[in-house]
Amino acid sequence: MKTESLLTIIGAIMFIIGLILFYSIQIGQTDSNLQFAKNMGTFIGLIGIGVTFAGIVISLISRNAPPIQKNFDIENKE
């Protein structure tokens, strides 16, 4: 598996885990452990977005460019 696709998959998984951590805990919880888990969900989700974006950018950069044509001659058919 290529690095860029692996990064994209890992980033998407991190984003999903962050969403689960953030939205599974209700607002207004007084337990500090639950607040910490909610904050970590935010952090993991944002890092997951960054990792996904990095995988997409690496895949765009590493694409094979079309070969450069070295024949610049112009033909006149008059």
Domain assignments of the chain as residue spans, ordered by start:
3-61
Q: What is the 3-state secondary structure (H, E, C) of 14-78?
A: HHHHHHHHHHHCCCCCCCHHHHHHHHHHHHHHHHHHHHHHHHHHHHHHCCCCCCCCCCCCCCCCC
At residue 47, does pLDDT exceed 80? yes
Write down the pTM of the prediction. 0.71
Q: How much is the average pLDDT of 49-74?
A: 82
The pLDDT value given to residue 21: 86
pLDDT band at residue 52 under the 50/70/90 scheme: very high
